[in-house]
Amino acid sequence: MGVLPVEEKRVITAQMEELRKQALENPEQFWDEKARALEWFKIWEKVLDDSQKPFFRWFVGGLINASYNCLDKHVKTWRKNKVAIIWEGEGGEIRKYTYRDLFVEVNRVASLLRNFGIREGDRIALYLPMIPELPIFMLAAARIGAIHTVVFSGFSSDSLAKRINDSKARLLVTADGGFRRGKIVPLKEIADKALEQTFSVENVIVVKRAGNPVNMVEGRDFWLHTLLEGVSKNTYIEPVKVDSNHPLFILYTSGTTGSPKGIYHSTGGYLVWVYWTFKWAFNLNDEDIWWCTADIGWITGHSYVVYGPLMHGLTTLMYEGALDYPAPDRVWSIIEKHGVTGFYTSPTAIRMFMRYGKNWVELHDLSSLRILGSVGEPINPEAWEWYFNIVGKGKCPIIDTWWQTETGGFMISPAAGIQLLPLKPGSATIPLPGVEADVYTEDGEPAPPGTQGYLVIKKPWPGMLLGVWGDPKRYIETYWSRFPNCYYPGDYAMRDEDGYFWILGRADEVLKVAAHRIGTMEIESALVSHPAVAEAAVIGKPDPIKGEVPVAFVVLREGYVPSLKLEEELLNLVSETIGPIAKPANIFFVHKLPKTRSGKIMRRVLKAIVKGEESLGDLSTIEDASAIEELKSLVGV
Ligand code: WT7
């Protein structure tokens, strides 16, 4: 592969330019051709319907099935005996599923779902650890046209309940427990608590994983292994031919309000996008062993642990546990053991490995690696260089992919499968074909090269979200209102003289903590639900490993005084309401928050104080400047 960062004049190559030109000048023709890489039961009548914008619809009238494209397509060929999933448990067990094995299990589970009365369009919630049953249930749902909504197994019962209620899931699939750093997370118990606050779930299927005791509700809860005893290995469930715009899944993600948004994706457009972006960016083939370390509870796992690799007939590795458990070289030992060739992880993980030191890396033979990827947050050049030199030994390009839950797949990324442009540490390079990105000023003018502005996408693309589940207004307001006729991702960006994009972090009240997306409002509303709390403001503080961490400022009600015990209580409350990943790194008890005269919390001032910045910016609108002194002394600047 040998295309490395070089110092010479960076030019966009003819090959890349040609493809981008075709995609942007004649998108209908371009995608009409590209979409045929997938198997369709019926070809679309129209490639793009923009009559209801911004509710763009792709491949209108086409009929397709995701499970068919991931499984049936391959079991018809020599790939039926190829390993589809290599699974490694945290304790070291290994399970391998060939495409044929996966096909068999998905059909059996699909028949179970049918027996529970699940039909096309019904939602099923999957609250599972990283075990093969998770992709099996996803594909089984897709097979019968049911819509899956995967809930990250690190989320709390409240978070799970919210997602079940919003999606009105009829069935919940969970496990007795999941392993995390050798300990058991009692998933069924957490799910039981969630079910006390929900009304739509009729049945629960429980996967036996950790062996911890659970409470099974007679007539409602069923063990998967018991159910499967009655289902033959020859079971075949005809894949339902769904409309291209039939939702494949709903995935909840944080926004700027207290409640997460149900991002839902189409079947046809989403699959076409994931198929091509994966091929363009990473260019993998049958010899590759692909490992994306993301949990399937996030979009990265949906698109590039499950759907992307399986559509391409690749071998995808799934690992159950923490990347540094039981020792800091776990990740390197997995790469060595399974001969991983493509490795895709987050900058937070890279910074963590960096801190452990290169000796842990050098204990292992990583010569199988040929391509590396990064996702989830901006990668700092220092982490990039370490990844490139220490992990990739200076031989593997780093594919820094910018995208979001909403975009379905990669948007701005180096493209090893088209033509790799010279890489610059910290830049995701240029948009992939079909993505027309720009950087706008506050007023919606193109920002001059080298200046910071807002990233915008100016044309629809096949992988775009269909909408926000049950809330079309929120879809329009969040994504299509900031700048006219543009999709607004909510990120700051800068384009340099060579046309390369640099993503500079969130422009809204969303944090990226260890590459996970968390809304400051969600944390604030958890905090104010405590009787002692009158007001709360949460901001992100830069963190050397996690990128940023939440920091909370809390004003107590009359009659309450700050204490360590109260702090502990508040931290637990956040953990229980959202999940441990949302826990603030610090809670500062203050008498007053900096507010404008119209009563808006000045988060940028809090941010500047926490960062220890000299200048706090324009303070002319502040209601009471005395708030600042208290904050400064508390934070210690
Ligand atoms: C937000 C989306 C995309 C899958 C994982 C996260 C940030 C994502 C990058 C990158 C800089 C990045 C953005 C984006 N982000 N990838 N390569 N460089 N920032 O999906 O949870 O929907 O978060 O993650 O801020 O908007 P998500």
Q: Are 485 and 585 in a shared domain?
A: no
Q: Is residue 374 part of a domain?
A: no
Q: How far is the CA of 147 from the centre of ligand 1 (A)?
A: 24
User: Is 400 touching ligand 1 by the criterion CB < 6 Å?
Assistant: yes
DSSP β-ladder status, 94-98 and 83-88:
antiparallel
**Confidence check: pLDDT of 341 > 80:** yes
Among candidate residues 338, 249, 257, the one with its CA nearest the CA of residue 298:
249
Last residue of a domain, one of 438, 461, 493: 493
Which atom of ligand 1 is nearest to 405's Cα? 22
Q: How confident is the model at residue 244 (pLDDT cuts 50, 70, 90)?
A: very high
As a whole number of angstroms, the distance between CA 509 and CA 226 comes to 46
Q: Which residue has the tokens 């990283």?
A: 130
Indicate whether residue 503 lines ligand 1 (CB < 6 A).
yes
Of 439, 458, 493, the last residue of a domain is 493
Q: CB of 378 closer than 6 A to ligand 1?
A: yes
Q: State which amino acid sits at residue 55.
A: F
Distance 377 CA to ligand 1 centre (A): 5
Closest CA to ligand 1's atom 23: 404
Model pLDDT for residues 88-144, shown as the tens digit of each residue = 999 999 999 999 999 999 999 999 999 999 999 999 999 999 999 999 999 999 999
Is the domain of 108 the same as that of 35? yes
- pLDDT tens for each residue of 585-600: 999 999 999 999 988 8
- Same domain for 482 and 548: no
- Residues 142, 134: Cα–Cα separation, whole Å: 12
Closest atom of ligand 1 to CA, residue 428: 17
281 Cβ below 6 A of ligand 1: no
414 ligand 1 Cβ < 6 A: no
Percent residues over pLDDT 70 in the chain: 98
- Residue 122: CB within 6 Å of ligand 1? no
What distance in angstroms lies between residue 39's CA and the mean position of ligand 1's atoms?
30
Confidence of residue 637 (pLDDT cuts 50, 70, 90): low
Q: Please, are residues 507 and 454 in contact by the beta-carbon 8 Å criterion?
A: yes
For ligand 1, say whether the CB of 428 is within 6 Å of any of its atoms: yes
Residue 254 Cα to ligand 1 middle (Å): 12
Mutate to test the pocket of ligand 1, among 512, 516, 522, 548 (most ligand atoms within 8 A of CB): 512
Question: Does residue 2 carry a pLDDT above 50?
Answer: no
Q: What is the pLDDT of residue 257?
A: 84
Q: Is the CB of 263 under 6 A from ligand 1?
A: no
As separate numbers, helices (DSSP H) first and strands (DSSP E) second, the chain gives 21, 30
- How many domains does one find in the chain? 2
Averaged pLDDT for residues 231-247: 98
What is the phi-psi region of residue 354: left when phi exceeds 0, alpha when psi lies from -120 to 50, beta otherwise? Answer: alpha
Residues 6 or more apart from 125 whose CB is under 8 A from it? 148, 149, 150, 151, 160, 163, 164, 167, 169, 171, 172, 173, 201
Domain check: are 477 and 539 in the same one?
A: no
Q: Is 90 in the pocket of ligand 1 (CB under 6 A)?
A: no
Q: For the segment 175-230, what is each residue's pLDDT rounded down to a tens digit?
A: 999 999 999 999 999 999 999 999 999 999 999 999 999 999 999 999 999 999 99
Distance, CA of 397 to CA of 407 (rounded, Å): 24
CATH of the domain at 595: 3.30.300.30
Q: How close is the Cα of 148 to the center of ligand 1, in Å?
A: 22
Q: Is 299 in the pocket of ligand 1 (CB under 6 A)?
A: yes
Are 186 and 139 members of one domain? yes
Non-local CB neighbours of 445 within 8 Å, separated by 6+ positions: none
| 28 closest CA partner among 47, 50, 55 | 47
Minimum CA distance residue for ligand 1 atom 7? 377
Among 530, 533, 574, 531, CA closest to 551 = 574
* CA-only gyration radius of the chain, Å: 24
174 inside domain: yes
Residue nearest atom 5 of ligand 1, based on CA coordinates: 376
**Dist. CA 160–CA 196, nearest whole Å:** 11
Q: If you take atom 2 of ligand 1, which residue's CA is the nearest one? A: 404
Cis-peptide into 54, omega within 30 deg:
yes
Pair 416, 521 in one domain: no
Q: Specify the CATH number for the domain of residue 221.
A: 3.40.50.12780
Q: Give the number of residues written for the chain.
A: 637
* pLDDT-derived band at 7, boundaries 50, 70, 90: very low
Domain assignment present for residue 589? The answer is yes
Residues 444 and 542 in one domain: no
**Would 389 be classed as within a structural domain?**
no
pLDDT at 145 over 60: yes
Is the confidence at residue 636, as pLDDT, over 90? Answer: no
Provide the token pair at 432.
């992939």
| 401 Cα to the center of ligand 1, angstroms | 8
Q: Read off the amino acid at residue 325.
A: Y
Is any ligand 1 atom within 6 A of the Cβ of residue 522? no
As a whole number of angstroms, the distance between CA 195 and CA 359 comes to 47
413 belongs to a structural domain: yes
Q: d(Cα 375, Cα 300) in Å, to the nearest integer?
A: 8
User: Does the C-beta of 403 come closer than 6 Å to ligand 1?
Assistant: yes
272, 90 in Cβ contact below 8 A? no
CB of residue 386 inside a 6 A radius of ligand 1: no
Number of Cβ within 10 Å of residue 566's Cβ equals 18
**Would you call 456 exposed, middle or buried from its count of C-beta atoms within 10 A (0-12, 13-18, 19+)?**
buried
* Any atom of ligand 1 within 6 Å of the Cβ of 491: yes
Tell me: the pLDDT tens digits for 513-554?
999 999 999 999 999 999 999 999 999 999 999 999 999 999
What CA–CA distance (Å, rounded) separates 485 from 464?
A: 14
pLDDT in tens, 307-337: 999 999 999 999 999 999 999 999 999 999 9
> Residues with Cβ < 8 Å from 602, sequence gap 6 or more?
593, 594, 595, 596, 621, 622
565 φ, ψ (degrees, to nearest 5): -65, -40
Residue 615: which pLDDT band, with cuts at 50, 70 and 90? confident
Determine the pLDDT at residue 627.
87
| Shared domain check, 115 and 223 | yes
Given the DSSP bridges, would you call strands 315-319 and 83-88 parallel, antiparallel or unpaired? parallel
Shared domain check, 468 and 564: no
From the centroid of its chain, how far is CA 87?
20
Cis peptide before 326 (omega within 30 of 0): yes
Quote the CA–CA distance of 352 and 383 in Å, as a whole number.
10
Q: Is residue 483 part of a domain?
A: yes
> What is the rounded CA–CA span in Å between residue 446 and residue 438?
7
What average pLDDT does the chain have? 95
C-alpha span between 453 and 79 (Å, rounded)? 47
Give pLDDT tens digits for 431-479.
999 999 999 999 999 999 999 999 999 999 999 999 999 999 999 999 9
Q: Are strands 289-292 and 452-457 parallel, antiparallel or unpaired?
A: unpaired
**Any atom of ligand 1 within 6 Å of the Cβ of 348:** no
Pair of tokens at residue 481:
């209102």
Residue nearest to atom 20 of ligand 1 (CA): 404
The last residue of one of the domains, among 425, 458, 493, is 493
Tokens of 217: 């509700």
**Do 477 and 544 belong to one domain?**
no
User: What's the domain range around 449?
Assistant: 14-322+401-493
Specify if 352 maps to a domain: no
Most confident of 2-16, 228-242, 603-617: 228-242
Burial letters for 522-537: b for 16+ Cβ neighbours within 10 Å, e otherwise? bbbbbbbebebbebbb
What is the residue with the minimal CA distance to atom 11 of ligand 1? 378
Q: Are residues 98 and 139 in the same domain?
A: yes
Q: Phi, psi (5° rounding) for residue 153?
A: -75, 0
506 pLDDT more than 50: yes
The Å distance, Cα 221 to ligand 1 centre, comes to 37
Least-confidence region, from 499-503, 565-569, 618-622: 618-622
Cβ–ligand 1 distance for 192 under 6 Å, the answer: no
Closest residue (by CA) to atom 27 of ligand 1?
404
How many angstroms separate the CA atoms of 246 and 164, rounded? 20
Mean pLDDT, rounded, for 2-30: 75
327 belongs to a structural domain:
no
Confidence at 623, pLDDT banded by 50, 70, 90: confident
Dig out the tokens for 475 from the structure.
Answer: 């879809």
Q: What is the average per-residue pLDDT within 620-625?
A: 85
Query: Does 376 contact ligand 1 (Cβ within 6 A)?
Result: yes
Q: Ligand 1: which of 377, 406, 432 to mutate, most ligand atoms within 8 Å of CB?
A: 377
- Indicate if 481 and 535 belong to the same structural domain: no
Burial class (CB in 10 A: 0-12, 13-18, 19+), 265: buried
* For ligand 1, mutation pick of 152, 254, 402 (most atoms within 8 Å of CB): 402
Average pLDDT on 376-384 reads 97
401 lines ligand 1 (CB under 6 A): yes
